[in-house]
Amino acid sequence: MKLVVSFALPLLFGVLFQQFYSFVDTAIVGRVLGATKLAAVGATGSVNFMVIGLCLGLCSGFAIPIAQAFGAKDEPEVRRCVWHAVVLSAVLSVLFATASTLLCKPLLRLMNTPEEILDTSARYIGIIFAAIPACVLYNMASGILRSLGDSRTPVVFLVLASLINIALDLLLILVFRMDVAGAAVATAVSQLLSGIGCVIVMIRRFPILRLSREDRRFSPALTRRMLGIGLPMGLQFSITAIGSVVVQWSVNGLGVAAVAAVSASVRISAFFASVFDALASTMATFAGQNIGARKLDRVEQGLKAAAVLGIVYCLAALGTVLLFGRQLLGLFVDAAAETEVTEMGVRFLRINAAFYIPLLFVNIVRLCIQGMGYTRVAMLAGLSEMVARTCVALFLVPAWGFTGACFANPAAWVMADLFLIPCYIRIMRTLHGRLLPGTAQYREQQKRICLLARKLRKAA
C-alpha cells in the first residue's frame, strides 16, 4: 500500500495539473467566448480522444518492455528498448499528425457536427492534430522515466507546462483575440516545452541511457515485440473512442445546448477521474517491473491496494458531485443565462459519478493486465466498451434523448469490467501454474524440495 501510494501521488499530482489546465482552457472558452464556442471545442472531444489516444497508447505500450527489462536488471536491454521506442514514436507521430490534420474536417462532418460550429471546431482540432509530435515527445519521455522508477520528474515539467499553458490561454484569447485557436496553440506549446524538459533530465540523470553504437542497432525482432505491445494498446484507445464518436454523433443531433452540456460535464468528470488515471499508470509500471522480477504475488497485492484506495475515493467523489455539481458547472457556463445547459450538465455528472467504481476497475485492472504484457486482452476490453457505447447511441438516445446519452459511459464501464475481471483471474491462475519464482506456489515447492533433501541426507 505504501509503495503504491508513494508512486501514485506524483502521478496524481501531474494528472491533476494536466486536467487543471484543460479545465482552465474550457472555463476560459466557455465564460469568455460563450456557450457556442464551448460547444465547438467540445464537439472535437471524441475524435481527439480517438487520434491522441492511439498515440498515448503506443507510448504506454513502448514503455512496458523498458519497465520489464529494468525490473529484470538487464541494462543493455533497457537501452535497446529505449532506442527503439524513440525511433518508432518519432516516425509514427509524424504519420499520424499528417493524416489526422488532413482528415479532421471530413471526420467532423461525419460526426454530424452542427454547421454553426463546424468551422470553429475544425480550426481548433486541426492545430491539436498538427502538434501530435509534441504530445508524443512528452508522453514517451515521461513513460521512459516512469519505467526507470522516476515518477516525479515528469510531474515537475507538467506543472511548469500547465502554468505556461494557462498564461498563454489568457494572452492569446484575451489579448490577441485568437478565439479557440489560441487555446489550441497554448496546449501545443506547453506540451512541447514539457517534453523537451523531460528529455534533458533523462539524458543527464540516467547514465544507463547512454547509448552505444551497438545499442542503436536496428532489431526487427525487438521492433515487432514493441509494436506487438504498443499497437494493441493504441488501438484499444481508438476502438474505445469509436464508441465515443458514435455517442458524440447522437449528442450532436440533440443540438448545441446538449453539446455544450456534455463538453462542460466531461471536463469535470475528467478532473475527478484523475485519481483513476494515476492508479492505472501506477499499476502498469508496478505490474511490469514485478513480472520482470518474477514476483507474481506482489502484482496481486498492488492491485488490491489500488482497489481499496480507489473505492474510498469513488464514494467521496460521488458525494462531492451530488452536493456541488451545479456550482462546478457554473465555472464553465453562466448558470443564470444558460439554464438548459446547466440542467443537462448536472444530470450527466450525477449519472456518471454513480458509476465511478466500475470506472476504477476498468482502469486499474486493464493497466495491470497490460503491464504484465497481455495487451491484446486489454484491446478486446476496448472493443466491449465500443459496443456498449454504440448500442446506447443507437437505441437509448433515440428513446430517452439526453438522459440516454448520460448512460453511455456507465454502460461501457460495466461491460468492460464484465470482460476484464474474469480475464485477470484466468491470467493470474495461468501464471501461478507456471510456478514463477517469487510466487507462493514456487516458494512452497522449494520448501518441500529442501525438506526432502534434509531427509535424504539424514538417511544417508
What is the tens place of the pLDDT at every residue in 123-178?
999 999 999 999 999 999 999 998 888 878 888 888 888 889 889 988 999 899 99
pLDDT at residue 213 tops 90? no
Q: How far apart are CA 203 and CA 141, in angstroms?
A: 10
Q: At 219, is the pLDDT very low, low, confident or very high (cuts 50, 70, 90)? A: very high
What would the grid cell of residue 64 be? Answer: 512496458
The pLDDT of 400-425, averaged and rounded, is 95
Sign of the CA dihedral running 235, 239, 244, 248: positive
Q: pLDDT, tens digit, for every residue of 45-55?
A: 888 888 988 89
What would the grid cell of residue 87 be? Answer: 525511433
Q: What is the pLDDT of residue 217?
A: 92
Q: What is the pLDDT of residue 344?
A: 94
The more confident residue out of 344 and 333 is: 344
What would the grid cell of residue 407 be? Answer: 448512460
Reported in sequence order, the residue ranges of 287-333 that DSSP labels E, i.e. its strands, are none
Q: How far apart are CA 368 and CA 284, in angstroms?
A: 5
Q: What is the pLDDT of residue 435?
A: 47
457 CB-contact burial (10 Å; exposed 0-12 / middle 13-18 / buried 19+): exposed
Q: How far apart are CA 183 and CA 187, in angstroms?
A: 6
pLDDT at residue 380 tops 90? no
Q: What is the pLDDT of residue 349?
A: 96
Domain that residue 8 falls in: 2-459
In terms of DSSP H, where are the helices of 330-439? 339-353, 356-371, 375-391, 397-400, 402-406, 408-433
Q: pLDDT, tens digit, for every residue of 90-113?
A: 999 999 999 999 999 999 998 989
> Counting runs of H as helices and runs of E as strands, what totals does the chain give?
19, 0
Q: At 448, is the pLDDT very low, low, confident or very high (cuts 50, 70, 90)? A: low
Q: Domains in the chain: how many in total?
A: 1
Contact of 366 with 281, CB cutoff 8 Å? no
Q: How far apart are CA 74 and CA 79, in angstroms?
A: 9
Q: At 440, is the pLDDT very low, low, confident or very high (cuts 50, 70, 90)? A: low
pLDDT at residue 29 tops 70? yes
The more confident residue out of 62 and 451 is: 62
Q: What is the pTM of this model?
A: 0.75
Residue closest to 172 by CA, chosen among 28, 13, 377, 358: 28
Q: What is the DSSP letter of 31?
A: I
The pLDDT of 319-331, averaged and rounded, is 92
